[in-house]
Amino acid sequence: MKATIAVLSGDGIGPEVTAEALKILKALAERHGHDWQFPAAPVGAIAIDRTGEPLPKATLDLARGADAILFGAIGDPRFADPSHKVRPEQAILGLRRELGLYTNLRPVVTYPAIYDASPLKPELLDGVDIMVVRELTGGIYFGAKTRTADSASDLCSYTRPEIERIVHLGAKLALARRGKLTSVDKANVLDTSRLWRAIVDEVMAAHYPTVTVEHTYVDAAAMHLLRRPADFDVVITENMFGDILTDEASMLPGSLGLCPSASLGAGRLGLYEPIHGSAPDIAGRGVANPYATILSAAMLLRHSLGLETEARSIEAAVAGALGDGVRTADLRPRGAAASTVEAGNAVLARL
Ligand code: IPM
Ligand code: MG
Active-site residue, 158 included: no
Q: What is the mean pLDDT of residues 59-69?
A: 98
Write down the catalytic residue from 116, 126, 219, 324.
Answer: 219
**Shared-domain flag, residues 134 and 245:** yes
| Predicted local confidence at residue 185, as pLDDT | 98
User: Are both 86 and 167 inside the same structural domain?
Assistant: no
pLDDT at residue 64, rounded to an integer: 98
pLDDT tens for 7-37 read: 999 999 999 999 999 999 999 999 999 999 9
Residues 88, 3, single domain; the answer is yes
The answer as to whether 64 is a domain residue is: yes
Whether this prediction's pTM lies above 0.75 is answered by: yes
Confidence class for position 172, pLDDT limits 50, 70, 90:
very high
Domain boundary residue, one of 251, 266, 291: 251
- The amino acid sitting at 116 is D
The SS3 call for residue 87 is coil
**Which segment of 78-92, 146-160, 174-188 scores lowest on mean pLDDT?**
78-92
- Do 52 and 27 reside in the same domain of the chain? yes
Distance CA 108, CA 105 (A): 10
Asked whether residue 102 falls in the same domain as residue 162, the answer is no
Average pLDDT, the chain: 97
Minimal-distance CA residue to ligand 1 atom 12: 243
Alpha-carbon span 324 to 146, nearest angstrom:
52
| Residue 37 near residue 241 (C-beta atoms within 8 A) | no
Which of the four pLDDT bands, split at 50, 70 and 90, describes residue 82? Answer: confident
Asked whether residue 120 is domain-assigned, the answer is no
Range of 154's domain? 129-251
Average pLDDT value for residue range 51-74: 98
Active-site annotation holds for 233 = no
Residues 200, 106: one domain?
Answer: no
Give the model's pLDDT for residue 169.
98
- Backbone φ and ψ for 262, nearest 5 degrees, come out as -125, 130
pLDDT at 333 over 90: no
What is residue 316's predicted lDDT score, i.e. its pLDDT? 98
**Domain of 71: which CATH number?**
3.40.718.10
Ligand 1 centre to CA of 249 (Å) is 15
Per-residue pLDDT at 49 exceeds 90: yes
Average pLDDT over residues 60-76: 98
**Strand extents, DSSP E, the chain:** 2-10, 35-37, 68-73, 103-109, 129-135, 145-147, 152-154, 180-185, 212-217, 234-237, 260-264, 270-274
Q: What is the mean pLDDT of residues 290-294?
A: 98
pLDDT-derived band at 245, boundaries 50, 70, 90: very high
- Look up 219 and say whether it is catalytic: yes
pLDDT at 335: 79
Average pLDDT over residues 256-263: 98
Query: Are 62 and 134 within one domain?
Result: no
| Residue where a domain stops, chosen among 251, 272, 302 | 251
Residue pLDDT, tens place only, 194-210: 999 999 999 999 999 99
Q: HSE-up of 175 (CA within 13 Å, CB side)?
A: 11
Whether 135 is in a domain gets the answer: yes
CATH number of the domain that 163 lies in?
Answer: 3.40.50.2300
Judge whether 124 lies within some domain.
no
Q: What percent of the chain has pLDDT over 70?
A: 100
Per-residue pLDDT at 83: 84
Cα–Cα distance measured from residue 278 to residue 74, given in angstroms and rounded to the nearest whole number: 5
Ligand nearest to the CA of 141: 1
Together in a domain, 239 and 258: no
The number of folded domains in the chain is 2
Which of 222, 251, 280 is the endpoint of a domain?
251
Share of the chain above pLDDT 90, in %: 97
At residue 136, φ and ψ (nearest 5 deg) are -120, -10
Residue nearest to atom 5 of ligand 1 (CA): 89
Residues 345 and 279 in one domain: yes
CA of 240 from ligand 2 middle (Å) equals 9
Residues 257 and 108 in one domain: yes
First to last CA, the chain: 19
- Does residue 38 surpass a pLDDT of 80? yes
Distance CA 329, CA 143 (A): 39
Does the pLDDT value for residue 249 go beyond 80?
A: yes
Out of 43, 79, 93, give the residue to mutate to test ligand 1, the one with the largest number of ligand atoms within 8 Å of its CB: 93
Q: Does residue 241 share a domain with residue 227?
A: yes
Residues 103, 137, single domain; the answer is: no
